Copies of this chain bind each other. A is one copy, B any other.
C-alpha cells in the first residue's frame, strides 16, 4: 500500500489554522483523543463541550454536545477516517459512526456546513507544528465557514488547548 495521502490545502476551498506550540506532539494528540481533555478546550468559552464520544479508529464515532450560556445545545456526530497516533487525525461531518452517510442537510438555509478536518502535529525539537485544515465541498461552504468565524473560533479553542497543555507539561 502507498503511504497515506499528503494534504495540501486548496486556498479556494479550504481553511487553515496553523500554530507552533511549545509542548510535545504526544500532548497535542492526547488533547484531541481523550474526552476528558478535549471537553476542556474544544469549544470557545462561554460555550462548553458537555459530552464527547471518541471511538479512536477509522470508522469510529466522534461526537460532541456543546452547550451555550443561555441553555442552547448543539449535538454533532462525525466519523474518524485516519488515525495515526501523535501525527495525524482525520474526521468528517459527512459521515456518522461506521462510515454511514450523514444526510443531514448542509447549506446556508440551515447554518450547517459539511467539512473534513485534517489535524496534524509535527514535533520539531521541543515544539510542535500544529495544523488544522478544514476541507470543504465548494467555495460557498468555505466562505460561510469563514464568515461564521473559523479563524476566531478555532483560534480561541487552540488558545484554550495550549493553556491546558502547558499546565499539564509543567
Contact = CB atoms under 8 A, between A and B. Distances in A.
A129 to B, nearest CB: 20
B101 A116 contact: yes
Contacts of A85: 1
A142 B79 CA distance: 20
Given A56-B1, A60-B5, A95 B116 contact: yes
A42 to B, nearest CB: 20
A114 B60 CA distance: 19
How many subunits of this chain does the assembly comprise? 2
Question: How extensive is the interface on chain A, given as a class?
Answer: 35 or more
Contact of A59 (B59, B81, B100): B81
Nearest to A57: B2
Interface stretch (A20-28, A120-128, A132-140, A162-170): A132-140
A82 interface: yes
A130 to B, nearest CB: 19
A135 B98 contact: yes
A49 interface: no
A58 B57 contact: no
